[in-house]
Amino acid sequence: MTTKVLEVKGLCKSFGGVRALRDLSFTVNENEVLGLIGPNGSGKSTTVNTLSGVLPPTAGEIRLGGHPVQNLPEWDRVAMGLTRTFQTASVFPEFTVREQVVLGCEATRRSRPIASAFRLKADRAEEQEIAKRVDTVLELTGLTALADAKVGVISAAEQRFLMIATALASGPKMILLDEPAAGMISHERETLTRMIRRICDSGTSVLVIEHHMALIMEVCDRIVVLNFGAQIAEGTPAEIRENRAVIDAYLGE
Ligand code: ADP
Ligand code: MG
């Protein structure tokens, strides 16, 4: 039986007169990588922004593990297992890689109202749990050897891997990646491709926005295609490659 991690129904988002999202409906299952592709301005980032809680949807339903979350703030969604990275990397150059990932853990801990209402500092058991989680996440993102390096000195690609690691530190069921390969060269994209697969295999479903077709076609189980905010196709990479509407709107450009 397939378990639905994320369900999106009739999602709409307008900015004044601009209808950025028009009635999107799709699901992401457990152990699945879903690709979201489409031309510039087709609504990909807006989708991630409404799913993560950065923007309120104009209409529609977002369910996480069966629970409606569309009216919850971003941090509640993180605590419930939905996390994301942004299109541009934001890191603290003076922190070490490990410290930056610990921040990601802290973010979830603080968002548990009962735990944080009574004590602001982690107790010993909690600290050990955090350390273990950080090690796992560094391993998953290939950053173990750089754990004690200052964030400011690692490469741009490594900083992007670190953004993924920080998001994973909250132990999510689902991670949303907005153009994770931006600025990467080919061997870094290959590293990222393997990383996305490992993340999925470790129990975190992935929604990935990318315009590098090779990466999308290799890593995704299914792909949703947007054009002018509307869903024009959905299918396996093989189906999408053959889809006439997709070729006309996007792949053939
Ligand atoms: P993509 O990520 O696919 O390139 P976006 O989701 O960023 O596309 O944008 C979709 C549409 O919504 C575009 O027409 C864009 O100009 C508009 N848009 C996105 N964010 C905003 C915003 N905060 N305010 C007004 N219009 C926006
Ligand atoms: Mg975008």
The CATH code of the domain that includes 8 is 3.40.50.300
Q: Which amino acid is at 211?
A: H
ipTM tops the 0.95 cut? yes
Total tally of structural domains belonging to the chain: 1
d(C-alpha 134, C-alpha 123), whole Å:
16
HSE, side-chain direction, 13 A CA sphere, residue 83: 21
| CA–centroid distance, residue 181 to ligand 1 (Å) | 20
Task: Identify the nearest ligand to the CA of 180 by its number.
Answer: 2
Residue 159 banded pLDDT, cuts 50, 70, 90: very high
Between the CA atoms of 69, 106, 149 and 142, what dihedral angle is there, to the nearest 10 degrees? -40
Q: Residue 64: give the domain boundaries.
A: 4-251
The pocket around ligand 1, CB under 6 angstroms, is made up of: 15, 18, 20, 38, 40-46
Q: Rounded CA gap, 76 and 58, in Å?
A: 20
DSSP of 150-170 = BGGGS-HHHHHHHHHHHHHTT
Residue 230 has φ and ψ, to the nearest 5°, of -110, 150
Give the environment of ion ligand 2: residues with CB less than 5 A.
44-45
Statement: residue 115 has pLDDT above 50: no
Q: Does the pLDDT at position 122 exceed 90?
A: no
How many CB atoms lie under 10 A from the CB of residue 129?
15
CA nearest 24: which of 236, 162, 227? 227
